[in-house]
Every structure is written in C-alpha cells, then in structure tokens.
Amino acid sequence: LKSIGREVENDLRGIEGISQVELSGFPAEELVVSVDEESLRAYNLSFAEVARAVSQNNLLLTGGSIKTDTEDYLIRINNRSYYANELDNTVLKTDPSGVIIRLRDVAHVKDDWSEDPDRIFFNGESAINIKVSTTNNEDLVVAAENVVAYAEKFNESHQNIQLDVTNDRSQVIVERTNLLLKNGAQGLALVIFFLSLFLRPRLAGWVAFGIPISFMGMLIMASYFDITINVLSLFGMIIVLGILVDDGIVIAENIYHHYEKGKNRIQAAIDGTMEVAPAIISAILTTVVAFSTFFFLDGRVGEFFGEVSIVVILTLLFSLVEALIILPAHVAHSKALTKEQKTYRFNAWADRVMNYMRDRLYSPVLNFSMKYKSITFAIMIALFMITIGGIQGGVIRTTFFPVITSDQVSVTVKMPQGINPLVTDSILDVIENVAWKVGQDYTERQTGNLEVVENVIKRLGPGTANGSLRINLLPGEERDFAASEVAQAIAASAGSFPDAESVVFDSGTNFGGKPVSVALTSYNIPELKAAKIELKKALAENALLRDISDNDPAGIKEIRLELKDKAYVMGFTLND
C-alpha cells in the first residue's frame, strides 16, 4: 500500500496546481539488527562493539572545507544506509591477517515497521490516507476536481486497489459561492423590483449596479491583504451583501425627491446627495468601526473574524465611494430624471398604497406616540423586560458561537499508556460495528432509504493508546437526521468502556473550544490529580454534560532498576 501510495503521490505532484501531498496510515520504517550471540563469541565481539561500529560508520555529515588557489571544496561523508541490504556491508572489525568481519556475519538485518502502531482501515480493509493540500497561490476547487478525475482514472485501471475520496473541502467553497451568487441575485431582484415599484425602473437599475461595483473594488484590494476566495472571505461577502445598497437607495430616493420639487437633474443630484451625505457617511463609518474591533481580538476568534472584517470594511468603503460619487453622476445623466420618462401604472398603484400606509397607519401611530409619550415609553420598557425575561428564563437561548454541524461523527479513544494495541483495536471494532448497526436503523427511516453511514475510517495510533473513528454520513442536504442525533445514538448503543481513559463522540465543531472547559493549576501534583478526579466526578453527575475528558494521561508504567552492592564488587555499572 505504501509503495502504491508513493506512486500516487508522485502522480498527484505532477498535476499543475498541487504541491502538497502527505501520506499517513503506516508506522515509521526502521532497520532492525538482530545479533546472533554465538557469532559474537566466535568473532570475539560484544554487542556494544557492534552498536558502536554501526553508529560510527552510518554517517551523513560535513567536515569543514579545503581552500585551494582555484576553488573551495566541502568535506562531506555520505555513508548513511536506508535499507537492510546496504547496512549488511558495514565493517565491524578487521584482524592482522586481513580478514574483514561485516555486520552480515554476526547479525540479521531487515527492513521493518516501528513497533508503535499507526494503521488506517477503510470499511474494515487496510488503507492509507493521502492528504492533498493547496497553498494560497493554488486553486482549491480546481485541485479537487483534478484529484477526483485522477481517482476515477486510477480506479478504471486498477482492480485490486481503489482510491476513494472521503473528504472534499472544496464542496464548502462551492456551496458558499453558490449561496453568495444566489443571495446576490435575490438582492438585485428585490432592489430593482421595489425601487421600480416606488420610484422608476431606470433609477432602480443604477442603484443595483452598486453591488457588483463594490465587490469588484473589494476584490482588487483584497490581494494586498493576502485574502483569497475561501470560506471566511465568502462568509464576509454574504454578511455585507445585505447592507450594501442601503446607502444607494437613500441617495437615489432623495435625488428623485429633489427632482420632483422642480430642480434640474444636475442640481437635484447635487442637493440630494449632499443633504444625506453626513448621515450616509456616519452610518457606514459606524459599521466599519464595529467590525474593526475584531482586529484587536487574540487567538482563533481574532484570526477568524479578522479576515471577515477586512472583506466587510473594504466592501462598505467602496460602496460609500460608489454611492456618493458614481451613483449621483449616473443618475444625473440618466433618462430616469427626464420629462420624457413616463409613469407606469404600477408606479401609480404603488404611490396609492404608500399614501394609504402613511396616512392611515403610520401617521396615527406616530401621533399617538408623540401625544402619549409616557405610555409609549412604558410599552418600550415592557417589551425590553419581556425580552430580558425570555433570555433569563431560557425561552430565548443564547450562545457565543453555535456548534458547526458536520457530515461526520468523530470518535476518539484514549487508553492508558503502554496498553496492548489489540485492546485499543478491540474497542474501536466494537464502536465501528455499533456505528454500522445504528446507521442501518437510520437508513430504514431515511427518505429514499439512502445509506446514512457512507463509510467508516478507523485509525489505530499513533501509539498503542490512541485510536479514532471517522464515520462519514450522508450529506446534510439529503439527510433527515442531525449528525449530533446519530452520534448520541452510537454513544448510547456502544455503552461505557471502563478500561479507557476517555471515549469522546463528536459531531461538529465547537468554535473557540469546548462549551465547558476548566483549567486546574497547582505546584502539588498529587493534590492536582486528586482535584481532577473530584471535578470529573462532579461534572459526570450533570446530565447535560457528556464526553468528559482531561489532558493528564496516567502515563506508562515503569520498571526501575537498582544495582546491588555485589554487582559493584563484580565490576558492573548501571550503564552495563
């Protein structure tokens, strides 16, 4: 598997736009030297002499340089062996008769894996993981498409081994891009519809034109801040899309209002823009200042919102320039402000509706509020108190950042250090079998009987005490059940594992850390460990909490050696 994986790695690196490929799922490679004691005695060698000879002859180092009249030379030793057949020829000893004793004469050397396990299984079959990453100068979506195409071509030409794409993060970029385009199209349509309804269609078109202008300006400047089109930048674009055309609508409506007063187009554009310019600038700068506060946050939250803030601020600043300079110039020279521009029937109907709402609904409420100010103020206070009461009573729930649901369930198993890897593997097997059974139950209730659990990736390692399962589910758009529900069902069916230090079932991402996280500090280690145990017991009594774990492993058991006095008399040392 590793040999074929290296071939795949080389093929992927040969594809334009892919520079980072990482293989995992197998232990580190080692050269194992098994010394034969009888051979050592026959050649009058000790184990220490063999180890010293291998160490002193298996070198890769530099030894200074030599300067000559013509050029300089580096002194280098390159005698490092990477395979067993190369290490076999290491010279251990020579005698006066010229006989050379090599490593192969007293030992058996073989290529082997490290004893620390690190294996991956895909749906129960041995597998390796190939992770393809991109840099900021490479296109993630194009790279993902090329990898998928390569996998399909590879599978057509191989029968006994297959490539499966288990995680394609470019789908998030594609989905966010589609969402941005969808929201942008809806925003343009709504702006054009309502402004055409209450003002004039040409005027609506010029206002809607501000959306692409603002985004183009932001994209031009984004490269100077090392911002690419990614999940964070797209998130910022989606946020700012809803407030982009507010200033343009206000300015266009005010220009139209001045034009209705009898002013010519140029003067109406100037007066209408200058009248609302202070308010527009204040509104935009207020939002800019609000988002700029994220630059002062430390840690992961600051990194996340920092890029979002740059996108929002740049877009708003360009929208301000477009609204104060470009939009008035377009409107002033547009046929929207001409006598030849006819009034459509839907404009007349919209004016009647607006006059009715103004005179029959808005004016009575405004007059009542101004006449009975104390009652109005009391109503506002009452609504505010009801809102606060709803939050305090749990009717309105709050969270700093919601759990980001995913299309997979992750199970992390931590066992005591030094445990037999077969024990860790057995627990992983139990949970994997439960996951398939739970998945089958949900499949029977799923619309169209689609497989809820698509595949399971098991990893044993790194180390004997660590293991994990990644249970990939049906995409959320097609799945009838939340990933958290599936995770809880698997956890309930699997039960508890007393021998494990922790078994955590996770179905999403808690931004900024776990919902409940407690740090204990003390110079007294026994006291600290006792406090940890006591705290975990207290947390376990809370029915709302689960997956309680800590970062203080028990550690591997030790066998400590001490020499008796008789050993020193015989000439032994601890090093011996």
Per-residue pLDDT 10s for the chain (576 aa) are 888 888 899 998 888 888 888 888 888 888 888 888 888 888 888 888 888 888 888 888 888 889 988 898 888 888 888 888 888 888 888 877 778 888 888 889 888 888 888 889 998 888 989 999 888 778 888 888 899 999 999 998 888 888 998 888 888 888 888 887 888 788 778 878 887 777 777 778 888 888 888 889 998 988 888 888 777 888 888 888 778 778 888 888 888 888 888 888 889 889 989 999 999 999 899 999 998 888 887 777 777 788 889 999 999 999 999 889 998 988 888 777 776 666 677 778 888 888 888 888 999 999 999 999 999 999 999 999 999 999 888 888 887 666 666 788 889 999 888 888 899 999 999 999 999 999 999 998 888 888 888 899 999 988 888 899 999 888 877 888 888 888 889 988 988 888 888 888 887 666 656 778 899 998 888 899 899 989 989 998 888 887 788 888 777 888 999 999 999 999 888 888
Amino acid at 336: A
Which residue's structure tokens are 């009975």? 372
Residue 449 falls in which region: left (phi positive, over 0), alpha (psi -120 to 50) or beta: left
- DSSP letter at 137? T
pTM above 0.85, yes or no: no
3-state secondary structure of 545: coil
Amino acid at 519: A
Q: How far apart are CA 154 and CA 305, in angstroms?
A: 40
- DSSP letter at 28? P
Q: How far apart are CA 444 and CA 450, in angstroms?
A: 8
Contact call for residues 471 and 483 (beta carbons, < 8 A) = no
Q: How far apart are CA 409 and CA 456, in angstroms?
A: 9
User: Alpha helices, DSSP H only, in 199-294?
Assistant: 201-208, 210-222, 231-241, 246-260, 265-292
Distance of CA 77 to the CA centre of its chain: 44
- Token pair listed for 70: 């013509």
**Residue 17: partners with Cβ closer than 8 Å, 6 or more residues away:** 134, 138, 139, 142, 143, 146
- DSSP letter at 295? G
- Closest to 134 (Cα-Cα) out of 278, 248, 19, 301: 19
- Closest to 203 (Cα-Cα) out of 193, 212, 211, 213: 193
Instruction: Give the C-alpha distances (Å, rounded to integers) separating 385 from 194, 372, 390, 502.
Output: 35, 20, 8, 44
Contact call for residues 437 and 489 (beta carbons, < 8 A) = no
